[in-house]
A and B are shown apart, each in its own frame.
Chain A
Amino acid sequence: MTKIKCLAMSSVFALCASAALANDTITVAIQLEPPNLDPTGGAAQAIDSVLYSNVFEGLTRFMADGSVVPGLAERWDISEDGLTYTFHLHSGVTFHDGTTMDAEDVKFSLDRARADDSTNAQKGLFAGITDVTVVDPQTARVTLDKPNGMFLFNMAWGDAVIVAPESIENIAANPIGTGAFAFADWVQGDRLELTRNPDYWGDAPALASATFRFISDPTAAFAAVMAEDVDVFVGFPAPENLPQFEADPRFQVLVGNTEGETILSTNNKMPPFDNVMVRKALAHAIDRQAIIDGAMFGYGTPIGTHFAPHNPDYVDLLANSAYDPEKARALLAEAGFPNGFTTTLKLPPPSYARRGGEIIASQLRDVGIETEITNLEWAQWIEEVFKSKDFGLSIVSHTEPMDISIYANPDYYFQYDSPAFRAVMTQLEGTTNPIARTALLQAAQRIIADDYVNGYLFELAVATVAKAGINGLWLNQPTAAVDLTGVSWSE
């Protein structure tokens, strides 16, 4: 009898042990697979989704709420004139290959990112840096050409992480950073594995290992989560399925905001869109709520300008382009198109674009504008719309944080050319006073809203579907990241 009890007990222990084992690993699904693993060289968001904070860290970093806090730099001093930043680095930080992270690596990383031949996707982040010097192994000094109120924010980006000269050659296939997780394996087209970094300088993560999977098809995504093949899906692609997960006690659904301004991109150089009246007519022809309800099943916040509504500096300019088809028709007539016109509407794959496109086409038809819809894959979209600017209208979500500055670039694919806007942006770059910055940012938002540069639709929501026992996931996406350092399973 006792023997049997003993056996029973031990098997219970064995069960517990295996359960405990299973509870320090996680399988995370995201939609797109990274094309390479170099966040300082590639533009793809998926690179940051997998590696940001997990494998690579910068001098500063974003927290889940979007705030910027110290990262590899423990603290910093800013000179009186705002031109010199002295970063004091954490001591005892090593890269995953065992080499030490010191001021030399900081200098190397920043110099590499801002070099003329740099392939960094966000070179603008480093544009103001004139010099990086090594004061001592734990101290690096960065000098700017003019004060930059965004500098610490810029250094938190995934494109500004610290890399080592020793491992830079193979970074695209074998990323070596300082993060709480080390890169373990990447089976292209299938999965990417991370394991806990035992020598991590900060708090050890609760998870021993993590596997990323890449599922872009909404039906496959639904099946994978339902079958519990994945523990977490960050950026679940089918909003229509979320109520089902919410009703299922096995899962939790987190719907947060992103930095993704979803816009009806308008080719400002292509007639008739070079006429502000036509663009204004477009803006009034669009019923945002119908698009949010129809394409996103209600998930999303309407925007009236290119700015994130959860940002304290956001100005509500929705009234500026309220849905008013009568007014749109009148404006079109006034602009010389009483019978409307025909244009192209080129749509990338995400459902906000494909479904949103059909809704917008129908709304534009109501005011007399006919659209020819073309569905494009991402590579084609980049080529035709983004690079060749061969489009009339398109729909895309601009997911970079604080990216209103893209309107200052007349060569950017929607080709908005406004000296007034550029002047505001130049002024903003040199302003560090928070109140003055707010005023300038709001002025910038008003200019692009009054010029009706693009149709401003809604701020993209991000849905994370996770198993019920998982804690510590980010609700919002202040930057593209699946930060696993704080993630754990409840007991």
Chain B
Amino acid sequence: MSRSLIIGLYLTAFFITLAAVSLVWTPYDIQSLDIPNKLHRPDGTHLLGTDHFGRDILSMIMMGARTSIAVAVVAVGIGMALGVPLGLLAAARRGSLLDEIIMRGNDLVFAFPSLVIAILITAVFGASAVNAIIAIGIFNVPVFARLTRGAALPLWERDFILAARVCGKSAFRISCEHILPNITNLMIVQGTIQFSLGILAEAALSYIGLGAQPPTASWGRMLADAQTLVSIAPHTALIPGFAIVLTVLGLNLLGDGLRDWLDPRIRVVRT
């Protein structure tokens, strides 16, 4: 395994662990405020200090990791669940009107700047984590649809698919039984990348107040809250900032590493 894969794995595992632990335990309850102890620097009692309401920042980061990961997982899930079947369908009916409609529809969604539309959706339907998930998820659909179709098309020309067709298998069965297993690696790699983009999008939406609403913890909102405090309590901005950077970096390294590791062609070149 390459070094980037290992670093990526560790970083990702670290944040997933943080989120998982927060399900059962956090050092402090983030819903109870402790205003007399606000803006404490990191020390023995509060490992990462406290924010402007005296909440423990480590606990906030843990709960925020949960929000980020939950939003990104579901958003990528939506993208895969809709995008992959659409891509398979388009590839199976390649050249047909249906293929044209599906892919031009995807182009249409792609043509919109995703974050702007996400802002529009959350502004119209109300700011909440659920709407943020839907907004981010919609823009994952064309990514997966294109990738799936692109990867599936050359497969359709291969002899083993021809063999399957000769055996009388329907396009649906061929797609599920032969095409899909052959593009899974690709989907995993793309999923990792989209996952990191999802975390960034959630942070961005929360930063402008359109993502998860208080008291749900969110890294983006922690950053927004810390904005005017940078000069007096820099840790309140630096810590959530680093959390976002490290998670996204970790996922990108993981994605890169996985691609190298899973793609036999690249592995051959390497060894």
Which listed residue (A218, A244, A358, A374) contacts B231, Cβ 8 A?
A: A244
A240 at the B interface (CB under 8 A): yes
Known: A293-B36, A362-B33. A375 touches B213 (CB 8 A): yes
Chain A interfacial residues counted at CB < 8 A = 24
Bound together, the chains give a CA A222 to CA B231 distance in angstroms of 10
**Contacts A366-B32, A373-B215 given: A294-B231 contact, CB under 8 Å?**
no
* Shortest beta-carbon distance from B90 to chain A in Å: 41
Contact A240 B215 (CB under 8 A): no
Given A240-B229, A244-B231; A293-B31 close (CB under 8 Å): no
Q: Does B234 contact A (CB under 8 A)?
A: no
| A198 shortest CB reach to chain B, Å | 42
Set of chain A residues within 8 Å of B33, measured between Cβ atoms? 290, 294, 358-359, 362-363
Residue of A nearest to B231 (CB): A244
Determine the distance from Cα of A372 to Cα of B126 in the docked complex, in whole angstroms: 13
Supposing A374-B213, A375-B209 touch, asked if A294 and B38 sit within 8 A by C-beta, the answer is yes
A-contact 0/1 string along B118-155, CB 8 Å cutoff: 00000000110000000000000000000000000000
B31, B127, B213, B228, most chain A CB atoms within 10 A: B228
A330 near B: Cβ within 8 Å? no
**A208 sits at the interface (CB 8 A):** no
Residue in chain B with minimal CB distance to A221: B228
The complex places the Cα of A244 from the Cα of B215 at a distance, in Å, of 29
User: What is the number of contacts between chain A and chain B, taking CB atoms within 8 Å?
Assistant: 58
1/0 per residue B207-232: CB within 8 Å of A?
00100011100000000000111011
A367 to B257, CA, bound (A): 51
A361-B214, A361-B215 known; A219-B227 Cβ under 8 A: yes
Q: Of B38, B53, B126, B127, which is within 8 A of A358 by CB?
A: B53
A238 proximal to B (CB < 8 A):
yes
CB distance from B53 to the nearest CB of A (A): 6
Chain A residues within 8 Å of B127, by CB: 374-375
Q: Please indicate the chain B residues that have their CB under 8 angstroms from the CB of A240 in the complex.
A: 52, 228-229, 232
A437 within 8 A of B: no
- Contacts A294-B33, A358-B214 given; does A241 touch B52 at CB 8 Å: no
Of A241, A357, A366, A375, the contact of B228 (CB 8 Å cutoff): A241
Q: How far is the CB of A465 from chain B (nearest CB, A)?
A: 13
* Complex interface residues of chain B between 192 and 249 (CB less than 8 A to chain A): 209, 213-215, 227-229, 231-232
Main secondary structure of the interface of A (DSSP, over half): helix
Smallest Cβ-Cβ distance to B227: which chain A residue: A219
Contacts of A358 in B (CB 8 A): 33, 53, 214-215
B52: contacting residue among A218, A290, A294, A363, CB under 8 A: A294
Query: B127 → chain A, closest Cβ, in Å?
Result: 7
Q: B residues within 8 A CB of A123?
A: none
Evaluate contact between A219 and B228: CB separation under 8 angstroms.
yes
Measured between beta carbons, the chain A residues less than 8 angstroms from B32 are: 362, 366
**Chain A minimum-CB-distance residue to B30:** A362
Q: Is A365 located at the chain interface by the 8 A CB criterion?
A: yes
Q: In angstroms, how far is the closest chain A Cβ from the Cβ of B9?
A: 36
A359 CB → nearest B CB, Å: 6
The CB with the most chain B CB atoms within 10 A, among A240, A243, A359, is that of A240
**Closest B residue to A366 using CB positions:** B32
Q: Which of chain B's residues have a CB closer than 8 A to the CB of A375?
A: 127, 209, 213
Does B35 lie at the interface of the complex (its beta carbon under 8 Å from any beta carbon of A)?
yes
CB-CB < 8 A to B232: which residues of A? 240-241, 243-244
A33 and B36 CA atoms in complex are apart in Å by 35
A355 at interface (Cβ–Cβ under 8 A)? yes
Complex Cα gap A241–B39 (Å): 13
B contact residues around A361 at 8 Å (CB):
214-215
Could you tell me the distance in whole angstroms from the C-beta of B67 to the nearest C-beta in chain A? Answer: 15
Cα distance, A199 to B52, chains bound together (Å): 52
In A355-407, which residues have CB < 8 Å from any B CB? 355, 357-359, 361-363, 365-366, 372-375
User: Shortest Cβ distance from B4 into chain A, in angstroms?
Assistant: 36
Complex interface: chain B residues within 8 A of A373 (CB): 213-215
- Chain B: CB-nearest residue to A287: B35
Q: In the complex, which residues of chain A have a beta carbon less than 8 angstroms from the beta carbon of B231?
A: 222, 241, 244
Once bound together, how far apart are the Cα atoms of A411 and B264, in whole Å?
A: 73
Q: Which residues of B have CB within 8 Å of A290?
A: 33, 35
A357 proximity list for chain B (CB < 8 A):
214
Listed residue (A243, A358, A375) with the most chain B CB atoms within 10 angstroms of its CB: A358
Whether A359 and B53, one on each chain, are in contact in the complex, defined by CB atoms closer than 8 angstroms, is yes
State in angstroms the CA–CA spacing of A357 and B35 once bound together.
Answer: 14
Residues B19-63 near A (CB distance < 8 A): 31-33, 35-36, 38, 52-54
Contact A238 B214 (CB under 8 A): no
C-alpha spacing A361/B55, complex, angstroms:
14
B-binding residues in A (CB < 8 A): 218-219, 222, 238, 240-241, 243-244, 290, 293-294, 355, 357-359, 361-363, 365-366, 372-375
Contacts A219-B227, A375-B213 supplied; 5 other A-B pairs, CB < 8 Å:
A290-B35, A358-B215, A362-B31, A362-B53, A375-B127
Query: Can you list 25 A-B contacts with CB-CB less than 8 angstroms, sorted by A residue number?
Result: A218-B228, A238-B228, A240-B52, A240-B229, A241-B231, A243-B232, A290-B33, A293-B35, A293-B36, A294-B54, A355-B52, A358-B33, A358-B215, A359-B53, A361-B214, A362-B31, A362-B32, A362-B33, A365-B31, A372-B213, A373-B215, A374-B127, A374-B213, A375-B127, A375-B213
